[in-house]
Structure 1
Amino acid sequence: MAQLTTLARPYAKAVFEAAKDQNAIDQWDQALAFAAVVAADQEVANILANPGLSEQRKAELFVDCFEEPLPEALRNFLLILAENKRLALVPEISALFHLYRSDFDQSVSLTIDTAFELSADEQQKLIDALSKKLERKVELETAVDQSLIGGAVVRTGDLVIDASVRGKLAKMAKALGS
């Protein structure tokens, strides 16, 4: 995974800078997200991994997967990726682009798993507190996981904060077992 990120980073930076210059960050983010879904499809992944196809043919088949005609800039970007044998990096490029966008927008996406459903008021209080603490605009996604017993698990990127009863019981059991 780290190697894919390393390979994808220059492409993601370049396309982000181009999108920023064109005032088209939102459009590029959506287009790359959709392209990432297409690239992650198993049949498309098999095509991209096929050594019997030329890179140009792989790019053509990839572009044909889209229902609507692609914007010229995205089509050109995909052709550049194909020429450099990097079409398989589209999902990683999309993820990095989204991170660059979040940094540019001073925002962060958080996922919070709780044992019980949070009310709209509780969610707003959580958003306000986290926005103040992180000094960023917070986008919150919630999920219910009753196995947590109580508390919450917060995830953003590769950071996980486990403040659940289940997590504390697991720590305690590990400490007692040592």
Structure 2
Amino acid sequence: MAARSTIARPYARAAFEEAREKGRLDAWSQALRTAAAVVRDPNVEKLIGNPHVAPAELAKLIVDVLGEQCDEYVRNFVYALAENQRLGYLPEISEIFDDLKDEAEGWVDVEVRSAAPLTADQQETLAAALSRRLNRKVRLHTEIDPALIGGAVLRAGDLVIDGSLRARLERIAQELSA
């Protein structure tokens, strides 16, 4: 069976292209996040794939929950997903859509694991330096990890910068044991 993201990707791209063409990336992003939350609800999750529940009924439920967030294009998209038995993929579609949106708008998410909390000034300085290095706008997500001893580990997609004291100590230990 293909990975869920492989199945979701073409739908996310189609939604992204439609939203970009209409100038409604933010509205679509919010609508897809809401629809994904509906699908993740345990009560709704049980109904997806249930042969006694018509996919169109589930689509109507999602459209009703979306309310004003749901223009005719979002509604048609949700019904197309239902027709193709893909409503259960809405969480992945939403995530991929947001990745495409971030890429188009020049944003990158950076995870920062540090041994101690970063001050607002440190976060601002770090975000500015990363923005220059990556040529993108940076959104920091910080996490405290005392096991690092000192310093920080930064992760932006496939790029990892390990400036932790623990990593330095491990390198020194390797050099001494060689």
Q: Which TM-score band applies after superposition, normalised by the shorter structure?
A: 0.7 to 0.9
Alpha-carbon distance change, 83 to 165 in structure 1, aligned in 2, over 3 angstroms: same
Match of residue 57 from structure 2: 57
- Partner of residue 103, structure 2: 103
Give the CA deviation at 1:43.
Answer: 1.9
Map of 1:7-156 to 2, 5 A cutoff?
7-64=7-64, 66=65, 68-69=67-68, 70-156=70-156
**Count of residue pairs the alignment pairs up:** 175
* SS of equivalent residue, structure 1 residue 143: strand
2-structure distance, mates of 1:172, 1:124:
31
Letter in 2 for 1:34: T
Measure how far apart 1:97 and its partner are: 0.5
> Cα distance, 1:6 vs. partner?
1.1
State the distance in 1 between where 2:56 and 2:72 align: 16
Segments of structure 2 that go 5 or more residues without pairing to the other structure are none
1:49, distance to aligned residue in structure 2 (A):
3.1
Q: Helix, strand or coil: the match of 2:48?
A: helix
Unaligned runs of 5+ in 1: none
Taking structure 1 as the reference length, the TM-score comes to 0.83
Letter in 1 for 2:104: F
Output the CA distance in 2 between the equivalents of 1:105 and 1:130: 16
Deviation at 1:59, TM superposition (A): 1.8
Question: Which secondary structure does the structure 1 equivalent of 2:85 belong to?
Answer: coil
Q: Measured at CA, do residues 147 and 86 of structure 1 come closer, stay the same or move farther in structure 2, by a change above 3 Å?
A: same
Percent identity reads 45
Q: Distance in 2 between matches of 1:89 and 1:159?
A: 28
For 1:11, give the aligned amino acid: Y
Provide the alpha-carbon RMSD of the alignment: 2.7
* Matched ranges for 1:154-165 at <5 A: 154-157=154-157, 161-165=161-165
